[in-house]
Amino acid sequence: MNIVVIKENPKDSAVEQFSKTEWKQWDVEHYGEIVDYISENFTLKAMEGDEIFGLLVFKVDGGVCFIDELIVKSDQQGKGFGEELIKKCESIAREYHCHKMQLHTGTNWKERKFYEHLGYKKTNDLPDQYLRRDFVEYTKYLI
């Protein structure tokens, strides 16, 4: 299995410069100093040959890594693709000095056991969340 990392940064230079300049004053007010606030988007692809078997979309944002999407082909579940994607995501999160991982999943979805197996703990109920369905938040501390 090959895990491919795609780093995304859709900001244009004017927006990026504005953001860097203006946040400095708010950093001092909120944190007492100018901080190196990192916000990066990534997509991981689990592949064998040219075929994609799974995707994981996540964001590193201010020391927190939020997993937005994890999907594995239905006929390939249970073969390690999801676990390898999560492990790679956690590895990248550590490289970016993230202290915790977070994700949301459906309240009654079977995937909850998968996340718990990987050390994630339920930290919050999210009633009436996405598409007006109930979700839960899972967190795993890295440091």
Query: Within 10 A of 140 (CB to CB), how many other CB atoms are there?
Result: 20
Q: Which of 81, 92, 16 is nearest to 58 (CA)?
A: 92
Asked if 63 and 94 count as a contact pair (C-beta separation under 8 A), the reply is: no
Q: Could you report the per-residue pLDDT of 8-40, keeping only the tens digit for each? A: 665 667 877 888 888 888 999 999 998 888 889
CB atoms within 10 A of CB 42: 20
Number of domains composing the chain: 2
Rounded to two decimals, what is the model's pTM?
A: 0.88
111-120 per-position pLDDT tens digit: 999 999 999 9
78 and 104 co-located in one domain: no
Residue-range definition of the domain harbouring residue 110: 99-143
The per-residue b/e assignment along 79-90, b for 16 or more CB within 10 angstroms, e otherwise, is eebbbbbbebbb
The answer to whether residues 57 and 84 belong to one domain is yes
The C-alpha R_g of the chain, in whole angstroms, comes to 17
What integer pLDDT is reported at residue 17 of this predicted model? 82
Q: Are residues 73 and 132 in the same domain?
A: no
